[in-house]
Structure 1
Amino acid sequence: MPWLQLSIETDEDRAPLLELVFESLGALSVTLGDAGNQPLLEPKPGEERLWHATRVTALFEAERNIDELRAALNQALAADVSLNLNIERLEDQVWERTWLEHFKPMQFGQRLWICPDGQQVTASDAVLVKLDPGLAFGTGTHPTTALCLEWLEGQDLRGKRIIDYGCGSGILAIAALLLGAEHAIAVDYDPQALEATQANAEKNGVAGRLEICLPEQTPQTENDLLLANILAGPLIELASTLMQLIQPGAPFALSGILQEQAEQVSAAYHPFAEMQPAQQQAEWIRLGGTKI
């Protein structure tokens, strides 16, 4: 059956009210998203964070009267929403298949591939990470993840112990294990991310070599390699903590950094490491180095 989709851009203060209004009007679903390209750190359990410019999107049955919905919104918000209200009619489709039409196998470096179920890679030496869409961040399509995957593929991981801090879907830890790492630790604040990481590790046959934990449960061991794909603020705040998780001489990669933030992040790690030149994709930066 077709659907009726309504969306409004608003600020972070009014977004929760608009969400409640849509729900009271019988919306089948309401989602909140970024309307201004503002990155956010994954919230801690129980914490709610919104974008400064938030897009609130509601899905209704197709037969709902648009004029009645618009009038109800005007009344509830005590404002005329006509200029800011976007209305679309969505034809019914198999959403998973539609997504797969856009998510094709992606290559990183010489032999690492991220591949959804049902698709194939013909390269004989391909190292394949099987990954489908889920709740957690990290499919390889975002520049921050892509930068880390490219760096990871270039490392000698045979027999190494690695730590993936801010694991999201687990894509980096899983890729490292498939590339030859002996053991990986995947850390995230979000329990849903840990669940996604566990499921993806099982799908890729590496769950037995993967340790999953919340930040406060992180084993205080010195690993051979560190990946931290989070954001600039937490990277700066956690610099000393993260450097304690790897041994001297260990390489590391930091991502989730905007171009204008790179100098400040690099300065936070300079006391602990010999830093390497930054790598950039779109407006995102990857920093790396070796612990001294």
Structure 2
Amino acid sequence: MPAADFANKQPYVSLSNGQKIPQIGLGTWKAGPNEVGNAVKAAIEAGYRHIDCAAVYSNEHEVGQAIKECINRGIVKRDELFIVTKLWNTCHARDKVFEACDISLQQLGLDYLDMYLMHFPVPMAYTGPTKPDLKEWIPWDAEKKLVKFEKSPLHETWAAMEELVHKGKTKAIGISNFTIPVLIDLWTFAKILPATNQVECHPYFQASTQNNAARRELRELCKKFGIPVTAYSPLGSGKQGPLQDPTIKAIAAKYKKTPAQILLRWNIQHGNVVIPKSSKAERVKENMSILDFGFSPEDMQQIDELDRGFITCDTREYWHGFALFAV
């Protein structure tokens, strides 16, 4: 599909504030230096208009340079883009929320964000405004065995994010990695509803919790609250992930698509936003070629039944045993 056609025809999802977000975006997690900029340029050239970033990815500056280049070349206008970035855990105190947002805007070279997400509902001790890589963003104790947390209540952090909307720093605010209990808590006091809940979601892990009884209920609760789900890591990861699943491969052969396209289409057909990460131009184009087909109810059911609690982003790996998604 030509870039102009994709940009004009791709589906959008309505947000609680009246905005519309492109349903297919580019993720930039784990995209290294001199890689992420090329990926962003390739995506925008191919017709992508939704770019997902985060302070903790430590690549916002390169993403911003790529966006600027595309705007200067006349490929796209700023108001045609939907740029998302995220508040890191160490910046949950009110003044740090403002500082972190300003730094992200500076790094990206933007006057405003389309959406600003709370990356995790986990307040950690402040480590400074910016860090070169993920490991330095984590505040360890002296023995580097335990993460240091801080007392920044969720309602205070969210109130500060609401102020960012009133100040024009971002058009929308949202959440990421929120489980059912935390989402319900937020719902009780939020004056501005979260525009999305960004969670890991693919056929092997169908929502952000490892409790089998509650996994799909998170998606259902978001739907009830009018909060669209954004699926990160929609392809899973590793040799044991859904890309290698025999059912996925069989359905891919049936529809003459790749396994990756089947996984993305499954999320799209469930109404979720998807943000697959890719650093290769041909893969970027492949990921957007999912609008010319749809699954039968029987095939959707086959894929729905693949759920097995296989998680890619496991906080126990990054935070030494802290299992955020255990409830």
Query: Is the shorter-chain TM-score for this pair beyond 0.5, marking a shared fold?
Result: no
Output the TM-score relative to the length of structure 2: 0.25
Output the TM-score relative to the length of structure 1: 0.27
Pick the structure with more helix per residue. Answer: 2
Greater Rg, structure 1 or structure 2?
Answer: 1
